[in-house]
Amino acid sequence: MCGNFFCASNDDQTQIQHLSAHVETFHKETSEEQLLPVYYSPATKDTPDAVFRTAAEISARLSFLGNIRQPMALSVLGRLLICHHFVSVRLHGGIRGYFVIEHTNNQADTRRMVEQNKQEQDTF
């Protein structure tokens, strides 16, 4: 025990990592998880063509493009964005959002073809 907190040993931490990896194999990827890297790329304020979007704006676009009837909660989408290396920023006035590069449908089609070719090469 460390103060009021339990300190896991290295063996415990290793076991936790193995269990987490095992649980991840059962994770069902949501439509938003599939569409996010197709239509958006992480950016910074200084990245050319970067635009500022809130999680709600990103959710609305993904829902429209993916014909998603029940979009995921914005808090869950925020965690998903962080997992995909999007950086959360707060602008003047307290608006929280992300600098992103939005991809057009043509760019998204090209990205899909590249990803499919990568997956096909990985299977051989």
Query: pLDDT tens digits, residue range 25-76?
Result: 776 788 899 889 989 999 999 999 999 999 999 999 999 998 999 999 999 9
Which CATH fold topology does 31-123 show? Arc Repressor Mutant, subunit A (1.10.10)
Contact status, residue 98 vs residue 47, Cβ threshold 8 Å? no
The tokens of 90 are what? 């707060």
Q: What's the predicted TM-score (pTM) here?
A: 0.71
What is the Cα–Cα distance from 87 to 29, expressed in whole angstroms?
Answer: 21
Three-class SS state of 111: helix
